[in-house]
Amino acid sequence: MSFPIAVLASGRGSNLAALIDARAAGGLQIDIVLVASDKAEAPALRNAEAHAIPTLGLDPKSFASRREFDEALFANVAASGAQLVVLAGYMRIIDAGVIAQWPGRMINIHPSLLPKYPGLHTHRRALKAGDLQHGASVHFVSAELDGGPVIAQAHIDIHPGDTEDALAARLLSQEHRLLVACVDAIARGTVREHDGTVLFNGAPLSMPLRLNASGSLIAP
């Protein structure tokens, strides 16, 4: 039986597309039971519809508070039967009380080597700091912004003369491979979270897993 997931996205949904492609290729045993967005016109919703995936667009302005919006959104997620929520370019901060209802069942992909550069403009910040490496992280979601336990990371070198756009473009394909690998590991049961610690094959990780050249997750 395929592992049921819901994907939340606010924009183009390139990470969603990577999950759809991996599923179609037979390498990812998941069932995307819902794609939801806070933007009714998000391209991610159109892509999901093109693949006959159920969609939901909710307008935050129709709710009196962030908590009410999040409760309505996640009521729909729960009704879909999803066992994992994947934040794939979802740009809203989720209410802490709602997050607490999904312990170890919500992940986010973030374009930096966390704990470096939580929040926005990560490529710009890495370049300004003179970093030699940059990357992406997939982490379990906690109430702290981009602060939950990190599952795995993909690393790329920063080249002399790199611009923000060039760095973002080079990292994007690695983000896609990283997210697919992490969702696959959770679906297979080789990765899970317990009391704020990531377990890999039942053993606690002291450092995030790394994405290797073949797209597999390996211990550091």
Read off the pLDDT of residues 1-13 as tens digits, 9 standing for 90 and up. 799 999 999 999 9
**Choice among 110, 134, 139, 176 that is catalytic:** 110
167: nearest Cα among 127, 198, 140, 195: 127
Q: What mean pLDDT value characterizes the chain?
A: 97
* pLDDT recorded at residue 1: 76
Kindly state the percentage of the chain with pLDDT values over 90: 99
pLDDT tens string 180-217: 999 999 999 999 999 999 999 999 999 999 999 999 99
* pLDDT recorded at residue 123: 98
Structure tokens at 43: 């391209």
Structural domains of the chain in order of their starting residue, each with its CATH number: 3-218 (3.40.50.170)
153: nearest Cα among 202, 198, 102, 101: 198
Structure tokens at 164: 């923000």
* pLDDT recorded at residue 220: 85
- Is 51 catalytic? The answer is no
